[in-house]
Every structure is written in C-alpha cells, then in structure tokens.
Amino acid sequence: MRVGVMGDTHDRVPAIAEILKRMAEGGVALVLHVGDYCSPFALAPFRDLNMALAGVFGRNDGDREGLKAAASSGLGAELYESPHSVELDGKRVLLVHDLGDVGEKSIESHAVVVHGWSHKAEIKSHGDTLIVNPGEACGWLFGTPAAAIVDLDTQSVEVIRLTEKDWRC
C-alpha cells in the first residue's frame, strides 16, 4: 500500500493542491498529515481531489473545531490529537507532529513513524522502524514545498519536491 505523507502545510493551498495531484498520479488514495494545516480552507484541495485524509493536529492549528468540521464535511477525514496510531495494511503507523513528544518505546512499537514540526525532510531508521519527516509542504521556511509517498510493504520512500513554476499561480 502506498500512502502520501505530508505536514506543515500552513495554508499554502496552491502547493497543497499540486502535491496532492502528484500523489494521486503516484497511486496514492490516502494521505497521512502530521499537522499545522492552520486554517480550515487548507483542506479544500483534499475535497477537490477526493483524497482521503487521516492526520493529527500541530501547534499552529488554531481553529481545531473548524478544521474538524471541514474534515468531516464531505471529506470523511479524521483529525486527531498528536500522537495517534493507525493500522494500515497490517502495519502500525504513528502520526506525531513533534517527534520529541514520543518516547523510544512508542517509536519501536510501530513499523512507520511520520512526523513534522521542524520543516526539514528526513528519512531514517530506528531498528525496524522507518521514521519519515516529509518536510514542509508549504515551502515557507526553506522555499521548497515537499512531501513524500511511503510504500508500506517495502518501506521505501519517494520524495516529492516542487519548484516554484510547479505551483505558483
């Protein structure tokens, strides 16, 4: 199973839309989001592309009730407090905004851990656990909107990076 992973979207709708388009082209039907959507309108591209979403809140999600309402209104999405575990294709996946909020036991009890917060893309292993920070989907800090596709069967990661011409209006 291939899932999209993204975080730190911070309301940058054109970049979110382009990333989701590329994920769909890559065979993704579900995106795992690790927080900092910011505003409910940041979920519009998920609805527009009919992309399923499961995610956790980050520290910059001020209107959580609005985000929950937008997620459940026509999206069928689920948003949880961080950290949150999901089981996909028989694999436990931990979604957490800040990796520092969970201990080693939590990490080791999951096949995949997806986190954000730092805005810096990073892929590493901890024993048998794949740990992925997809980077910032907004591109506000480092100038390059980024996300990833994770193959849960092979634990391989395909990074998606946009250039300005890919998503600017």
Q: What is the pLDDT of residue 136?
A: 97
Q: What stretches in the chain show pLDDT beneath 50?
A: 169
Q: What is the pLDDT of the chain when averaged over all its residues?
A: 94
E-strand ranges in the chain read: 2-6, 30-33, 52-56, 78-80, 84-88, 91-96, 112-115, 122-126, 129-133, 146-151, 156-161
Count of structural domains within the chain: 1
pLDDT at 88: 96
Query: Which residues have CB under 8 Å from 90's CB, separation 6+?
Result: none
Q: What is the pLDDT of residues 21-66, one digit of tens each?
A: 999 999 999 999 999 999 999 999 999 999 999 999 999 998 899 9
137 and 18 Cβ atoms separated by less than 8 Å: no
| CATH code, domain carrying 158 | 3.60.21.10
pLDDT of residue 79: 95
Tell me which residue range forms the domain holding 23.
Answer: 2-167
Q: What is the pTM of this model?
A: 0.95
